[in-house]
């Protein structure tokens, strides 16, 4: 039987993993620059954590959770990181340490998406959470941080869309208002949306069904349900974004269907991917810390989809093949192989990335392997060279070669690379 990786998961092979490392290290640098520190939470959490935070009537909780039952406990492979991080913040009383805790994270998330949509069931996020302040400048800082990361990775063709949902009581008003507006159209909405009207009416706004979309677009829309405080907050966010030079569009229909969002929500999409698939999104969640048993703390966060960033980047650039090795040793015979082990170790311990040809074959075939490894130099050691404590050092790109003393090899290579 031939095994395959589970549906909706992907192997990241060495050829690709170097791109992951590059964008991860760039993102880490920018997170640090903005004062964020890394947090690593477990990949499994108590399943109830997400029902409590995201909401019982979200697609994630209803259809996409990977549940693991063990004795009397039910765990879930985390579908996102915000709830986990707030859980950790409350569990370790981090509110006692500093006023605003700034966390960043990178790692896999799991959702049982329908595979025909081409979505992954294990996908990866870069994200940030700033917990402990309701200051609108923090909203602007987080939005700006997300755009800086996208920009530094090499994407400039992206769009930022922002909206405010208002506080919990504004959200309630909006939900009543939205229900009233949708009721006359109930017969024309899709089956899912009809049940959403009662359970979580905001999710109707996220429906991808064209007929539902038309109805939503036809509704006359006013932000009358937003209270004065929330309105002022949003105005300050927008003013701060202007100061930071972030261009944005306001979309009153952007709601992000998770229960925990309040006030500012935003989404960043790339022209390379189209509007359907955002590069990332985020928002405020001012009640979640309290909801999960902590004190009342304003908070905001975002997540960027790593696979989507890579997809948008690959539409732009073809990366040149990377040089992996400075030296590739080809020993001819048993005695040379034995000597090669210590030469190889000297090179590596001196910081010269090196490897050894372990396979037999003609010298030509072995040089081809060195080429495939993208080695800069090849060191060939035969019996003649061994007797003189030398080797033939071949420059692979210039096709030149010279005999070198093994004792001088490290310095020779270091001088040339």
> Which residues contact Zn ion by CB under 5 A?
166-167, 170, 190, 193, 207, 209, 212, 227, 230
Q: Are strands 377-381 and 327-331 parallel, antiparallel or unpaired?
A: parallel
d(CA 261, CA 282): 9
Distances (CA, A) of 41 to 106, 112, 258, 374, 394: 10, 20, 21, 38, 49
What is the closest distance, in whole angstroms, from the C-beta atom of residue 279 to Zn ion in the complex?
A: 24
- How is residue 75 written in tokens? 């765990």
148 and 307 Cβ atoms separated by less than 8 Å: no
DSSP string for 208-229: --HHHHHHHHHS----TTS-HH
Taking Cα atoms as reference points, which of 323, 338, 333, 357 lies closest to residue 406? 338
* Measured torsion, CA atoms of residues 287, 292, 296, 298, in degrees rounded to the nearest 10: -50
The CB-of-200 to Zn ion minimum distance in angstroms stands at 12
The residue (of 65 and 207) whose beta carbon lies closer to Zn ion is 207
Tokens 């964020």 belong to 36
| β-strands 158-164, 278-284 pairing | unpaired
Cβ(391)–Cβ(409) under 8 Å?
yes
Q: Which is nearer to Zn ion, 94 or 212 (CB)?
A: 212
The DSSP 8-state label assigned to residue 389 in this structure reads: T
For the bound state, the minimum distance from the C-beta of residue 164 to Zn ion, rounded and expressed in Å, comes to 9
* Sheet bearing 327-331, strands edge to edge: 354-356, 327-331, 377-381, 390-395, 400-405
Distance CA 223, CA 202 (A): 14
- Beta strands 278-284 and 299-305 are antiparallel
Q: Where are the beta strands (DSSP E) in 11-157?
A: 37-38, 44-46, 66-70, 73-77, 101-110, 122-131
Q: Say if residues 129 and 299 touch (Cβ distance below 8 Å).
A: yes
Please report, in angstroms and rounded to a whole number, the separation of the first and last CA atoms in the chain. Answer: 46
């Amino acid at each position: 039987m031939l095994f395959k990786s589970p549906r909706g998961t992907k192997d990241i092979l060495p050829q690709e993993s170097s791109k992951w490392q590059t964008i991860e290290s760039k993102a880490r640098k920018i997170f640090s620059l903005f004062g964020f520190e890394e947090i690593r939470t477990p990949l499994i959490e108590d399943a109830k954590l997400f029902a409590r935070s995201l909401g019982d009537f979200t697609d994630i909780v209803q259809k996409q959770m990977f549940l693991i039952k063990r004795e009397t406990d039910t765990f879930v492979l985390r579908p996102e990181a915000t709830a986990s991080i707030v859980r950790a913040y409350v569990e370790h009383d981090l509110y006692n340490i500093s006023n605003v805790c700034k966390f960043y994270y990178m790692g896999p998330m799991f959702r049982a998406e329908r595979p025909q949509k081409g979505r992954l069931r294990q996908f990866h996020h870069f994200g940030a959470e700033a917990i402990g302040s309701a200051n609108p400048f923090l909203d602007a800082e987080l939005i700006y941080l997300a755009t800086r990361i996208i920009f530094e990775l090499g994407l400039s063709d992206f769009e930022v869309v922002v909206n405010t949902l208002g506080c919990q009581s504004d959200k309630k008003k909006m939900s009543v208002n939205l229900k009233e507006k949708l009721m006359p159209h109930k017969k024309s909405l899709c089956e899912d949306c009809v049940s959403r009207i009662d359970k979580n009416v905001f999710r109707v706004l996220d429906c991808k069904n064209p007929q539902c979309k038309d109805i939503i677009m036809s509704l006359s829309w006013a932000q009358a349900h937003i209270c004065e405080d929330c309105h002022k907050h949003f105005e300050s966010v927008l003013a701060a974004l202007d100061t930071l030079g972030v261009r944005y569009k306001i979309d009153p229909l952007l709601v992000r269907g998770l229960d925990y969002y309040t006030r500012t929500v935003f989404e960043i999409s790339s022209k390379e991917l189209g509007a359907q698939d955002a590069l990332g999104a985020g928002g405020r969640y001012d009640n979640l810390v309290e909801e999960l048993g902590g004190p009342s703390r304003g908070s905001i966060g975002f997540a960027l989809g790593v696979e989507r960033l890579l997809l948008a980047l690959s539409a732009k650039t073809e990366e040149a093949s990377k040089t992996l090795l400075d030296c590739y040793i080809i020993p001819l015979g048993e005695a040379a192989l034995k000597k090669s082990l210590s030469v190889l170790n000297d090179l590596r311990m001196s910081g010269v990335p090196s490897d050894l040809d372990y396979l037999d074959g003609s010298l030509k075939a072995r040089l081809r392997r060195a080429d495939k490894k993208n080695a800069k130099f090849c060191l060939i050691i035969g019996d003649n060279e061994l007797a003189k404590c030398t080797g033939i050092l071949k420059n692979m790109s210039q096709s030149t070669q010279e005999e070198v003393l093994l004792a001088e090899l490290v310095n020779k290579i270091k001088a040339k690379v």
